[in-house]
Amino acid sequence: MKSPVRVLVVDDSALMRKLISQILQRDPSIQVVGTAMDGSFGLKKIDELKPQVVTLDLEMPRMDGIEALRVITHKYKIPVIIVSAHSNEGASSTFQALSLGAFDFVRKPVDAASGHLEEIARELTQKIKTAALLGAPRAIPQPLVCPPRASKPAFRPRRGPSRVIAIGVSTGGPNALQQVLSNLPGDFTGGILIVQHMPEGFTEMFARRLDECCSIDVREASSGDLLLAGTALVCPGNRHITVRHTSRGDFVALTDRPPVNGHRPSADVLFRSVAREVGALAIGLLMTGMGEDGAQGLGEIKAAGGFTIAQSPETCVVDGMPGSAISRGHVVRVVPLEALASTLQTQCLAHEARSLEEEDSPVAHDGGND
């Protein structure tokens, strides 16, 4: 029989340590081997108990979670799941933790101190078991800070996109998306829609952080937004995002339909919408993430004549989502993370060139003299 996953719970609240341990211990494949009240005690417990996964609070006295995470990722190289507060400060610290090599995060419910942790129980146990299976990230990602880049254009024409790019991404997504979007030029002609598996309350700040790092515009999507060239719209947490094609352009619609593949937002919902409304002008991209969300929808984009891309498995933190689409034959091209931006740019420029050729093609004459 396979041994249970050994987990250390680090949180400054005695109540939270007890509650998190209780929900984890309900799964027979997980064993909570110990708890710690701050980062300093947590590091001592790692030496003593040899856990396979650590759950880590970020706001703690003495040694906080960020400082402890730096040591864990560099010295012990075991995966860390952040259990983060639902606040602006909590969201900011969470993104910093992800940039420092945390495997993933779950959000503490607002009323967690009242014992209401059931809503994250399934998510937390699943991420712990996936982290134990895959181990620490293959390499510590670059910090989530703005790289040197050209400034945003002083004026960006309000024009429709040459291609509609739909992106689905989950675990490992914040750093991967930053790398892709920050390498797109300010005059990028595509319009981008993003489903990042992320809870409500985190996506607005996530979009703002991306916008600060990019020459294109990035913001959280709202219903009725017009899809424009050089703009990326991030689906809000706990909503689905779809596209509606009209004579006035392509518009975003947000819905509260039930979760699909266990997710809201779901990449499959976005991809199916784009396949139906945009067809051959669509580009579907599946990036790092666990599970199969987006695989079927990517196949629908391909069937509609669109171009489909998967991030190469060896450059993913978790290759479940792109790997599922590749195995089903729904992917036209498999591309490493560092080449995704140039691939998207090439596809958009190629479409622009074809459109210009069609506009400039000679019109047949009816035999008259020049």
* Token couple for 152: 């945003």
Please say if 170 is a catalytic residue.
yes
Maximum distance among all Cα pairs of the chain, rounded to whole angstroms: 93
Cα 73 from Cα 103, distance rounded (Å):
10
Given the residues 170, 182, 215, 324, the one annotated as active site:
170
Cα 167 from Cα 296, distance rounded (Å):
14
Within 8 A by CB and 6+ apart from 296, the residues are: 268, 271, 328, 330
Q: How far is CA 141 from CA 103, 290, 291, in A?
A: 11, 18, 22
Please say if 57 is a catalytic residue.
no
Please say if 197 is a catalytic residue.
yes
* Token couple for 353: 């060139």
Q: Is 191 helix (H, G, I), strand (E, B) or coil?
A: strand
Q: How far is CA 277 from CA 128, 241, 242, 249, 303, in A?
A: 38, 13, 9, 11, 13
- Any alpha helices (H) in the chain, and if so which ranges? 14-25, 39-49, 65-71, 88-99, 118-134, 173-181, 203-213, 267-277, 295-303, 320-327, 340-360
Is residue 339 within a helix (H) or strand (E), and if so which, with residue range? none
Asked if 98 and 58 touch (Cβ cutoff 8 Å), the reply is: no
Phi, psi of 184 (to 5 degrees): -90, 140
DSSP codes of every residue in 154-173:
S-------SSEEEEEE-TTH
Asked if 301 and 140 touch (Cβ cutoff 8 Å), the reply is: no
* Encoded amino acid at 145, one letter: V
Given the residues 11, 57, 197, 263, the one annotated as active site:
197
Catalytic positions, written as ranges: 170, 197, 293
